[in-house]
A and B are shown apart, each in its own frame.
Chain A
Amino acid sequence: MTANAFFQLALYLGVLILLAMPLSRWLTRVMAGDIPRVLRPVQWLEHGLYRLAGVEPKQEQHWLAYALGLLLFNVLGFLALYALQRAQGVLPLNPEAFGAVSSDSALNTAISFVTNTNWQGYGGESTMSYLTQMLGLAVQNFVSAATGLAVAVALIRGFARKSVRTIGNFWVDLTRGTLYILLPLSLLLALALVSQGVIQNFKPYQSARLLEAQSYSQPKLDAAGQAMKDAQGHAVLESVSTQTQTLPMGPVASQEAIKLLGTNGGGFFNANSAHPYENPTPLSNFLQMLAIFLIPAALVLSFGQQVGDRRQGWTILAAMTLLFVLAYGVLVAAEQAGNPRWATLGLDQLVNLEGKEARFGIVASSLFATITTAASCGAVNAMHASFTPLGGMIPTLLMQLGEVVFGGVGAGLYGMLVFALLAVFIAGLMVGRTPEYLGKKIESFEMKMTALVILVTPLLVLLGTALAVSLASGRAGIFNPGAHGFSEVLYALSSAANNNGSAFAGLSANTPFYNFLLGAAMWLGRFAVIVPVLAMAGALAAKPRLPVNAGTLPTHGPLFVGLLVGAVLLVGLLNYIPALALGPIVEHLQLWQVAH
C-alpha cells in the first residue's frame, strides 16, 4: 500500500464520521416524530398523505401487521415497475423511442429495484426511457431504501422498548424516512453533482461532429434487416465510416444522488459511476463514496442514541470500520501489484489499470470498490471483472459476509445486529450464562430467527451457483475462460442474494435463465431476511429490559468488537472459502505461477 492509499482512506473515514454524527441525531429525531424546524413546512405533505391513505400515525402495529404492510407495499411497487417497463413504448418522455423491455428482463429489473439490489441486466442508455428511469427506477431507489430504514428502526425499537406488543407503524416510518431523510439529502447531493458536470435535462440525445472521421466494421444487413451470413455461417462485416458521436442525455443527477444515498447502485448508464456523465471528477467521486456510507454509518450511531447507550453504536461502528479497513488494504495492494504477465512489455508502471478511469486511478477505484460492496450499493466506478484475482475476491467476500460492513440503508444495521446476537450467544455458551443483549434475554426463538437470517443468503448463493454452473444455459453466459468464469457466476449470485447489485459484468446475465434465477435470489435474499428480523423485533419488544449486573457481558468496548468481527468472519469464511478457492484463489495462483 502506498502512502496515498493510506491518506485517501484516512481522509475518507474522517469526513464520513464528521458528517455521520450530526446526521445520526437528525435520524433519531425524525424517526421518533420530532421533525427538525427547517423541514416543518413539509409536514402538511406528510399529514396529507396519511389522511388520503387512511393512516392514523399514532396507531402502532404488531410486528405481523408491520410485515404484512411492508410486503404488500413492495409487491405493489414491483407490479407498478414491471408494468411501466412493459408499457414505456407508448408512454411519454421517451425521446429515443425505446420499445417495451422484454418480459424476463422487466421482471428481473422490477425485483432488482424493489429489493434495493439494483442489479442491471440492461444497458440504461439503450433500454430505458426517461419516464421509466425517473417514475419507476428512481422511485424504487427512494422507497426501497426507506423500507430498509423502517425495518432497522423497528428492530431498534424492539431493543429499546420493554414489555410492549408494537414496533411502530410501517406507513409512518416509510413516509418519514423518504420525506425527511432521503429527499433533502438527495436534492443537496444532486445539485453538488451537477456543479461537477453530471447532466440533468430532458433533451433528446445530442449529436456531436467528431474532429476526426472514425472507421469501423459492423455486421452487414440484408434487405429484411437481418444480419447476413457467409457460407461458413459467419456474420458478413462491412466497413463504414462516421463523423458523428451520439451523446446520451437525461435527468441523471437526480437519480444519481439517490442511487448512492439509498445504497441502490443502479446506474442511469451501463457504465454506472464510471460514466463521465454520472461521475465526472475526483470530487464527484469523493462525494459519491461519502453518500454510500453516510446513512448506514449515521444509523449505527443513531441506534446507540435510541437504545440509550451511545457506546453500543460506536462499538458496532468500530467493528464495521475494522472489517472495512482490512478489506480495503488487501484490495488496493492487489490492484497496485498489478498483472505480472505484463512485466516484460516495457510499460511505465505495472498497476492494474484495465477497466479503470484515468481520473480516478488505482486508489480511488479500489476505495470505491470496497465501499460499494461493503455497503450493499453496487454502483461501480471501475469494472470489477477486470480486477486482479485477489482484488476481485474482496468485493465478492464483502457481499458474502452478508452486507453487514456498513451495509445497505437499514439492512446493514439489522444484519449486523443479528450477528451481535450470534456473538453474545456464542459468548454465553462459553461462560454458561443465558445470553443477553441490551438487557434483553436472547432465547430460543431469537436464535432460530438469527440462524434463519444468517443461513438464507449462503444457501441461495451456493445452491444458485452450483445450479448455474451445472446447466448449459448457466454456463452459456460465462465470458472469461477458466477460474475467472466461475468467479463471474459466484459473484453474480453473491451480489443478487445479498442485494448488492454490482457484477463481474462479463457474464451475459440478460437471458431468461439468469433473469429468473437472479430474480428469485434477490427476492428471497431481501424478504426472507426482513420477515424473521421483524418477528425478532416483535419478540424483543415484548420482553422486559433486565438491569445490568456483574455477570452481564458488556457489549461495548474492544472485547466485543473482537467478538463481533470474529462472528462475522467465522460464518462468512466457513460458508464461502471452498467456493472462493475454486474461483479467485486458484486464479491468483495461476496468475503468479506463470510469472516466476
Chain B
Amino acid sequence: MSQSLSQQFRPALVLLLGLTIITGVVYPALTTGLAQAIWPWQANGSLLQRDGQVTGSALIGQAFSGPRYFWSRPSATATLAYNGLASGGSNLGPTNPALQQQVSERVAALRAAHPGQSAPVPLDLVTTSASGLDPHISPAAAAYQLERVAAARHLPVETVARLVKQHTRSAQWGILGEPVVNVLALNLALDELPQ
C-alpha cells in the first residue's frame, strides 16, 4: 500500500507546476484584469495630479518642513523621510534612550516652531509611524499647526480651519479606525486657495 518515493515524483512535480500556473499566473492576471476594469484609480496607486504631473499618492505621505504647509508625522525610513523605496518603522524599543531623546527633541522643535501655541503637543507629531509613509495626522495635530500655516499664508485662520475640517475623515462607517486628516491632500487644497 505504501507508495515509493519514485512513484510520488510525478504527482509532486506535475502538481507543483500546475498549481504554480494556476495560483502564480492565472490568479494574479485575473485579479489585475478585474481590478483595472473596476477600480483603475485605486489599482494604479491612487495617484494625485497637478498641472498634468503626478504629485504624489493619496495614500502615501510626504515630508513637509516649510511654514506654509501642514507637517506630516516624523518618518523613520532610511536615508530620507518618506522614502517610498524603504518602508519601515524606527524599531526603537520603549526603554531605548535614543527613542526618549528623539521624542524630546521633536517636542522642543515643535514648540519652537509654534511659539503662540499653548495646547499640549500632539503625540502623533513626535512619534514615527510603522510604515514611515503614514499619510495622516490626527485632527489635534492639524489644529496645533493651524495658526502657523494661516499666518505664513496671510489667510484668515477660519479659512484654513474650514479646509482642515473638509479634509478630516471620521472613523470609517462610524466605527472603524481613528479620525484622521490627509496631509498631502490638505496641502494641495491649500495651494489651490486664492492668496
Contact = CB atoms under 8 A, between A and B. Distances in A.
The answer on A and B forming one complex is yes
Interface of A: 7, 11, 45, 49, 52-55, 61-62, 64-65, 68-69, 72-73, 76-77, 80, 123, 125-126, 134-136, 138-139, 142-143, 165-166, 171, 174-175, 178-179, 182-183, 186-187, 190-191, 194-203, 205-212, 214, 216, 218, 242, 245-249, 251, 253-255, 258, 269-271, 274-277, 280-283, 285-286, 339, 341-342, 345-361, 364-365, 380-383, 385-389, 479-484, 487, 504-506, 587, 590-591
A561 to B, nearest CB: 30
A356 B12 contact: no
B140 A348 contact: yes
Nearest to A54: B10
A385 B121 contact: no
B64 A61 contact: no
Nearest to B65: A212
Contacts of A587: 93-95
Contacts of B38: 191, 194-195
Contacts of B1: 61-62, 65, 165-166
Contact of A142 (B19, B34, B39): B19
**Interface range on chain B: under 10, 10 to 19, 20 to 34, or 35 or more?**
35 or more
Contacts of B184: 211
B95 A590 contact: yes
Contacts of B34: 191
Interface string B91-128: 11111110110011001000000000001111110111
Contact of B86 (A123, A206, A360): A123
12 contacts: A69-B8, A166-B1, A175-B15, A191-B38, A194-B39, A199-B44, A212-B66, A280-B46, A282-B176, A347-B123, A355-B91, A358-B180
Contact of A283 (B62, B126, B173): B173
Contact of A358 (B24, B56, B126, B138): B138
A480 B92 contact: yes
A176 to B, nearest CB: 12
Interface in B73-100: 73, 79-82, 84-97, 99-100
Contacts of A208: 47, 54-57
Interface in B16-36: 16, 18-20, 22-25, 27-28, 30-32, 34-36
Contact of B95 (A143, A245, A482): A482
B52 to A, nearest CB: 11
Contacts of A187: 27, 30-31
B194 interface: no
Contacts of A365: 130
Contacts of A196: 42
A135 B25 contact: yes
A206 B89 contact: no
B64 A212 contact: yes
A354 B92 contact: yes
Q: Which of B1, B39, B119, B178 has the most CB of A within 10 A?
A: B178
Nearest to B10: A54
Contact of B128 (A355, A387, A481): A355
Contacts of B172: 281-283
A482 B100 CA distance: 15
B19 A251 contact: no
A134 B28 contact: yes
Contacts of B103: 342, 345, 354
Contacts of B99: 354, 386
Nearest to A381: B130
A321 to B, nearest CB: 21
Contact of B85 (A7, A45, A125, A481): A125
